[in-house]
Amino acid sequence: MGHAEFIPILLKGAAISLLIAAASSLVAVMLAFIAGLARLSPFRTMRWAAACYVECFRGTSLLVQLFWMFYVLPHFGILLPPYVVAVAALGLNMGAYGSEVVRGAIVSVPHVQIEATIALNMTKRLAMRRILLPQALLTMLLPAGNLLIILFKSTSIVSLITIHDLAFNAYNLNIQTFATVPIYLSTLLIYFVIAQAIALSVAALYRALDRGRSGRLA
């Protein structure tokens, strides 16, 4: 097998990695907002439940979480397909980290804005939707972009539960050909290029939104 033949196989694995990252990011964003807002809830039970989720998934290894869902849950009668496990584990883990980004961004909104919503007799829900979240979203964007890059790179561990992602295909090619240097150099470059593409896309979106906000304020 020539070196040029490695690339299509690696790119096929990269496509699977991207699909898993995309699906996981949707789960992570949803959980990040739910847990982040729950951490700010006036209800102690909601704050406690959100804190338990965040600390549990931040305080334990993503790899162990993945193995637990794939190998341990079947002992309790819960058998999930590998792709579902991959998306769930990555989404739950990154959602926990993302919740702190959401919470921190909302808390960072100047207190005078909150006072203004009170003066306008807005309900807390309306103030959150119309005033606080729109301002916090821009603050969240760059840290969320970093988490998205980490999430994509973390997809490499799903190869351990039989998913034919980029890391899995690279390992198999190496076993078959022993062309270790070109295979893993190509794999490294693919991860790097995709991570840079994500970073540049998020940065471009941030600049566009920032210009839009500056234009509205002018």
pLDDT digits (tens, 9 = 90+) for 20-76: 999 999 999 999 999 999 998 889 999 999 999 999 999 999 999 999 999 999 999
pLDDT of res. 2: 54
Q: Which has the higher per-residue pLDDT, 117 or 166?
A: 166
- Domains observed in the chain: 3-217 (1.10.3720.10)
The alpha carbon torsion through 199, 84, 189, 2 (nearest 10 deg) reads -150
pLDDT of res. 211: 77
Confidence band for 217, pLDDT divided at 50, 70 and 90: very low
The model carries a pTM of: 0.89
pLDDT digits (tens, 9 = 90+) for 131-148: 777 778 888 999 999 999
Q: Which has the higher per-residue pLDDT, 177 or 217?
A: 177
pLDDT digits (tens, 9 = 90+) for 187-213: 999 999 999 999 999 999 988 887 766
